[in-house]
Structure formats: structure tokens, C-alpha cells
Chain A
Amino acid sequence: MRREIITPRSNWPKKVEALGLDFHTQDGEPYWWEGACYAFTAAEIDIIEEATETLHALCLEAVDRLLASGDLGRLDIPEAYWPWIADSWRRRDPGVYGRFDLSYDGSSPPKMLEYNADTPTALIEAAVVQWYWLEEVKLGCDQFNSLHEKLIERWKELHRQVTRAGRAASLHLAGVFNELEDRRTVEYMQDVAGQAGWSTTPLDIADIGWNGRFFTDLAETQIHFLFKLYPWEWLLREDFGPHLLSDLVGIVEPPWKMVLSNKAILPVLWEMFPDHPNLLPASRDRAAIPGPCVEKPIFGREGQDVRLLRRHEPPSAAPGRIYQALAPLPVFDGWHTLIGSWIVGGKAAGMGLREDRSPITRNRSRFVPHYFV
């Protein structure tokens, strides 16, 4: 694993915009950065792929055990929703995708920092933009990235399930559309679902209606299947949250995914699989992680309120935090590099790399393409 400094394509902004990445520069700073790339060996890709599928299996096992125990209080999920979440798991309501954030330096086993199992983003750049970059810049090289075709295949599988049940394959897709990245991500999911045969209707999450019997779109058509780029923990706590219990909508990602997208799952995983080479010690109690560690809010996103604590440094007074042993990101040319490794339909599907001058990866951290030989 190494970082190469390369010359960006002269007209790269136009090229990535044509692929839907019109948020490539934010507040004057590049988000998509092709003045560098990361090179891997095939053996390193094998390690990342295997770790990703292993971690996914561990996570499913954790969901199963945790729901069997009936104790979702550990995850700060409102008790009224526990049976509903358990039902979703018993039915194995299908999910589509997720993204593990890994710390990997090319030599030690990849370590799971968290699992973005509910609303992962940085998808277009990983699935599409870096693919086209490879075709033009690193012709003859390969890339760990079958995201696009795996997403279409996954939506096809869900389409088959729905039509076999005699139901119309009509999918609504919702997000916060005044956020450009969210909007483009929903559009991309609309694109791949449409290619898989679904009839698709995008709408802003605030435009979803409730008519006393079912959820509706702006045309007052009933919503039967919904892809939502909107975290479960927000949905449950909003005015329409209790209507979700009616189970009238098949939602992607399904309710049981909220067990995994919650960082309080990290201590649970460590308790269930202690000393696993791809996991890090984690606890709700700072004292249980005596060395340097990372304090994370259990519902935080994109590095928000994440703090690095030195050995013996006390935790913040804020509630709802977990503590995870520090696995420093590798540093290349002064950039701290994180691997986002994707799961689609239960299979490892590719990766995207983010880099930042800070040891904490945030929503503006650069996305840098990769290849391997």
C-alpha cells in the first residue's frame, strides 16, 4: 500500500461533474482529489476483502445474539421499537449495502473502526467516478470496485422477491435534498434500482405524507417500498416515527440495520468476539480502555464530536459515548488514510479511500482513487 503523487487530468472537474460528482470542491477545497492515488497489491486487496466479509458475518451474528437477548437498551434504541426491530430481523428483511471504515496500513490486519450500515455515503465517487478515472489514467490496472454491478444485481434480487410475491416493484427514494451529496446519492441509487427494473420515484424526506392509513408521496400514491438516505435514529424520534410500526412499508435499509449503524455495537462486538484480529477493544466505560483511545458519540456521523484521548485522559462529560482503543490511521505524505470497504448484498464489493491532515476523518476529508496490480 503506497501513495503516488500524479498529475490530475486537465479537465477533471468537467469529467467528474458529468458523472454526477458536482460536489467535487467544497468551500474552495477539493473533495475529489486525483493529484494522488493509492496503489495496492492483489494480496493486500485479498486481505481487505476477507476482513470485510468476516466483519460482516460477525456483525450479523451480533445482531442475532443481541436481538435474542432482547436487550436493545444497550444501544439507546427506544423500547417501543424493540419488538418491531426483532420482527424485521426474524423476517430477514433485505438490506442493500453498508460500508466498513477500516484502519489498514498494508501490514497489520485491518481493524474495524465502525460500520456505516444504515446511510453510508461517498458512494458515487467509489462506485463510478474512480472507475472512470481508472479507465483513463491507469489503463491495464485493476481496482477493487464492483460496486456498480453488485448494486444493480442486488436491486434485481429484491425485484425478483417482490414480483414473486405478486407485488408491484415500485420504489420511492427519499433523502434531504437540499444537501447536494445526499441528493446525488439518492439519484445514484435511483439509477441502479431503475436499471434493475424498479419503477422509481424520488422525493424529499419531508414530502412523505401520512394519510391516517399509509404513507404517501406528493401525488398521494401509497409508498410500498422506500429507500431512505436518512438515519433510523432520526426517523424513530420524529413525528411520523410511530407510524412506522404499522409495517406498511418495506424500507431499505431495514429496521434491524439500526443495531449495526449504532456505535454502541462496537463494545458488544468486542465482548462477543474478544481479541478478534479485525476488532478493537471498545467499551461504554472509559476506564475499561486504559490506553489511548477514541471517544465517539454512538449516533455521531462523519467524525462529528469524535475525540482522541491520550493515555489516562479523562472522557468528556457528554452522554452517549463509547471508547475504542486507538488504531492510528497510516500516514502517507502527511495524510491520514482511511479505507471505506463496501458490502453489497452481503458480499465485499469494493473500497474508497479518504485522507485528511487530521487523524480524524470527517465529511470533507478528501476522496482519493486507488488501483492495484
Chain B
Amino acid sequence: MSAVADDGNNRRSTVVVLTVLGLVATVAIADKVIPQGVATRRNLYATRADCERDYAPSQCEPDSSGSGGGGSGGGHYHGPYYSASRSSAGTDDPGAGRSGGIRAMSVESSYRGGFGAFGRAVHAAA
């Protein structure tokens, strides 16, 4: 969507072009919202070989976060995220790895739902 005003001396925008907004049917915002307090984990490995003993090669990625050693510098690798709770894990959850994470240097935990509680409460009350 775009339009162009015909006079460059105006105090309105000369051109208003939209590339995302208005394409309501195609906007790629995920509708799924992770429930509050959901914890996930992933294993960090010293080498790619260690990671591939637990997961498929495609599931092992260089760690680029810096503090973990860095993909190019420290040579560490991490596996995929998996649910911290076995009871709530879906069928596609990769799990803790074939060794159960024993080969991992460390296990990183990630949590979601730490923001948003006020917003949902306020909107629900409105």
C-alpha cells in the first residue's frame, strides 16, 4: 500500500508506504503465547563431537553467546532446547540427549513468561 502527495512543501508526509501493516492475513506474528513460568533447557558441549553423541548433527549449533566460549573462539556447541519438565514435554520435544546430558559441560535453563502478567491482568479487567 502506498501513496504519494503531490506537493513537496506540505507539512504532511510526502509518501506513505506500508509493507507489513494492512497485510493482516499474512503478518507473521505468532498467535501462540507460551504459558507463564515455562522452563526449557539446553546442553552446552565442549565439542561438536560431544554434542553429536547426544543429538543429530543438525541439532548441534555453535554457541555464539560469548560467555559460553563462542562458536568461533571457544569451539563450544549447544544442543536444542527441551522442556525442563518431562511430564509437560510434547512428542516433538528433543529431550535431554541420548546420554541424558551426561556428556554436557553444563545445562542452560531458559524461562519464559517473566514479562506480560500486568498487561494481561489490566486488559482482562478493562
Contacts and interface: CB of A to CB of B under 8 A. Distances in A.
Interface of A: 17-20, 22, 45, 124, 127-128, 131-132, 134-135, 142-150, 174, 176-179, 183-184, 186-188, 190-191, 194-195, 202-214, 216, 218, 220, 222, 230-231, 234-235, 237-240, 243, 350, 363
B77 to A, nearest CB: 14
A97 B11 CA distance: 18
Contacts of A234: 115, 118-119
Nearest to A174: B115
Given A204-B116, A206-B33, A239-B114, A179 B20 contact: no
A105 B9 CA distance: 26
Contacts of A214: 65
B21 A131 contact: no
A146 B24 contact: no
Q: Which 10 pairs from chain A and chain B are nearest by CB? A: A240-B114, A206-B116, A234-B118, A20-B21, A211-B110, A239-B114, A191-B20, A176-B119, A143-B12, A148-B13
A186 B28 CA distance: 12
A235 B18 contact: no
Contacts of B126: 363
B121 to A, nearest CB: 9
Contacts of A204: 29-30, 33, 116
9 contacts: A17-B24, A134-B12, A178-B123, A191-B19, A204-B116, A207-B34, A210-B110, A210-B114, A230-B119
Most buried by B among A45, A205, A218: A205
Main secondary structure of the interface of A (DSSP, over half): mixed
A187 B115 contact: no
A234 B67 CA distance: 29
B33 to A, nearest CB: 5
B12 A184 contact: no
Given A143-B10, A206-B34, A234-B115, 7 more contacts: A19-B1, A131-B12, A148-B13, A213-B68, A218-B34, A230-B116, A235-B115
- Classify chain B: how many residues form its interface, as a range: 35 or more
A350 B16 CA distance: 14
Interface of B: 1, 3, 5, 7, 10-22, 24, 27-31, 33-34, 36, 40, 42, 65, 67-68, 81, 108-120, 123, 126
A206 B121 CA distance: 12
A176 B123 contact: yes
A212 B108 CA distance: 7
Contact of B20 (A194, A208, A213): A194
Contacts of A145: 11-13
A45 B12 CA distance: 12
* Best-buried of A204, A208, A231, A234 by chain B (most CB within 10 Å): A204
Contacts of B3: 131-132, 135
